[in-house]
């Protein structure tokens, strides 16, 4: 009967203290052989310096400072949640008020009784005019501003006119044709319909220090896609921060930033130089991960959808908070966080910062990198379709300009076995 498998962390601990059974050692080696990353992760525990650095880091950790930072973030989270609830209630009540007002206007317009007196249908057959001066007709009531009634057979409306006295016609008679002789003097002085419309009145507002500018409404959010075989260099964000995008990368952010933070969505790879603003945290979300810059800093984030791992490197400035799912980590300058979706965050010391940001200077920089990752980077830059995979764990080294042709770059690749594993056929990059 096979032994029940234990978690990898338990196996590693038992192996370090020398209590692992042969079966457990076999299980640990079987897990390490599944991928290169597993093997690298396991081999790190054979390095005493790595274990000593981890212990020193734990000893140097200020628990009181961590607790204060946690309380501060919890307070900010609760405050934001309260503000969101208030905004939601305001939106709901505003929408309800608008709906009630619209219903009231509709009911008043369609169901209110019509108090306008109806007129008898006016015949259009030629007939002589006949003033109303019969004894049985009631005298028209004089008013300072008489009313003339227009009937278009479907609607009636009353328009007050400045004529001296009303002219009333009986039903069944047609009004005489309009001529210059029978048009009252008051109508002749009215402006014609073709006259220029009156100019709108401009309202001027001023404050104590000069003209007052109303707040501008939010512009359309920026959705920037860099799908060329190049980089988007030094793009300025609304707060003054700067981002440089690698090829096949994309960012999305509001313009201007809204709410209690400066939030950006990233796909691909970007290098950020953040302007400090303690009241508005700078947050980049990508591939299920969330990075929050604390203070002024510069960092690089790589999270292509076709790559298994996300990599974040803090280059300069203050600390960087990295969160993915239930896992959290704080990076210091010169440290790199690497993780897969659903896995813990692995933290390393950055050995070569120039390699991380080489693309911002249009350079390739490979230093004993896996052949499959190198081929993926080359195919992405030159817009090629990647075909095949290398299973021999071949390592590649190369430094050179990205402005060279793809063929020239492939010829200059240095592999660990001295063989050429990459070739180009049309628009395809084939790995074998």
In this structure, how many other beta carbons lie within 10 angstroms of the beta carbon of residue 36? 13
pLDDT band at 375 (very low <50, low <70, confident <90, very high): very high
The tokens describing 72, both together, are 């501060």
Task: State mean pLDDT over 419-427.
Answer: 89
d(CA 91, CA 248) in angstroms, rounded, equals 38
pTM to 2 decimals?
Answer: 0.50
In this structure, how many other beta carbons lie within 10 angstroms of the beta carbon of residue 255? 12
CATH domain 222-356 topology: Jelly Rolls (2.60.120)
The tokens describing 34, both together, are 């599944």
d(CA 249, CA 267) in angstroms, rounded, equals 5
pLDDT tens figures, 169-217: 444 444 455 555 555 555 455 444 444 454 443 333 333 333 333 333 4
CATH pick for 362-431 out of 3.40.50.2000, 3.40.50.300, 3.55.50.30, 3.40.50.740:
3.55.50.30
In this structure, how many other beta carbons lie within 10 angstroms of the beta carbon of residue 421? 20
Cα 311 off chain centre by: 22
Range with top average pLDDT, 37-46, 200-209, 330-339, 417-426: 330-339
Residue 126 has pLDDT above 80, yes or no: no
pLDDT band at 120 (very low <50, low <70, confident <90, very high): very low
Higher pLDDT, 407 or 111: 407
Domain boundaries, the chain: 8-59, 222-356, 362-431
pLDDT tens figures, 8-62: 888 888 888 888 888 888 888 888 888 888 888 888 777 777 777 777 877 777 8
């Amino acid at each position: 009967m096979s032994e029940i498998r234990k978690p990898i962390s338990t196996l590693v601990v038992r192996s370090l203290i020398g209590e692992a059974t042969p079966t457990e050692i076999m299980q640990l080696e079987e897990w390490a052989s599944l991928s290169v990353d597993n093997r690298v992760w396991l081999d790190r525990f054979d390095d005493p310096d790595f274990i000593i650095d981890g212990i020193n880091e734990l000893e140097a950790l200020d628990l009181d400072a961590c607790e204060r930072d946690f309380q501060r973030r919890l307070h900010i989270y609760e405050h934001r949640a309260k503000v969101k609830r208030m905004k939601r209630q305001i939106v709901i009540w505003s929408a309800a008020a608008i709906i009630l007002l619209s219903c009231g206007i509709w009911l008043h317009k369609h169901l209110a009784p019509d108090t306008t007196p109806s007129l008898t249908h006016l015949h259009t057959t030629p007939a002589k005019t006949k003033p109303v001066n019969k004894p049985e007709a009631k005298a028209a009531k004089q008013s300072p501003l008489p009313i003339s009634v227009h009937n278009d057979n479907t609607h009636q409306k009353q328009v007050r006119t400045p004529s001296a006295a009303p002219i009333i016609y009986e039903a069944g008679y047609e009004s005489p044709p309009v001529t210059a002789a029978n048009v009252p003097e008051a109508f002749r002085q009215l402006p014609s319909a073709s006259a220029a419309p009156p100019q709108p009145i401009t309202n001027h507002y001023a404050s104590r220090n000069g003209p007052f500018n109303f707040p501008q409404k939010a512009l359309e959010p920026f959705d920037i896609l860099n799908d060329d075989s190049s980089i988007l260099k030094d793009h300025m964000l609304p707060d003054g921060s700067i981002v440089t995008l690698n090829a096949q990368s994309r960012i999305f952010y509001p313009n201007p930033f809204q709410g209690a933070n400066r939030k950006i969505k990233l796909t691909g790879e970007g290098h950020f130089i953040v302007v400090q603003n303690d009241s508005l945290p700078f947050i980049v979300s990508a591939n299920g991960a969330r990075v929050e810059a604390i203070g002024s800093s510069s960092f690089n984030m790589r999270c292509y959808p076709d790559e298994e791992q996300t990599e974040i490197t803090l280059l300069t400035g203050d600390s960087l908070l990295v969160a993915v799912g239930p896992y959290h980590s704080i990076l210091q300058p010169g440290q790199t966080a690497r993780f897969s979706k659903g896995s813990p965050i692995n933290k390393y010391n950055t050995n070569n910062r120039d390699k991380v940001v080489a693309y911002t200077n249009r350079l390739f920089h490979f230093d004993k990198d896996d052949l499959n990752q190198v081929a993926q980077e080359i195919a992405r830059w030159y817009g090629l379709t990647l075909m095949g995979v290398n299973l021999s764990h071949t390592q590649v080294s190369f430094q050179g300009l990205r402005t060279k042709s793809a063929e020239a770059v492939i010829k200059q690749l240095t592999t660990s076995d001295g063989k050429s594993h990459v070739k180009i056929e049309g628009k395809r990059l084939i790995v074998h």
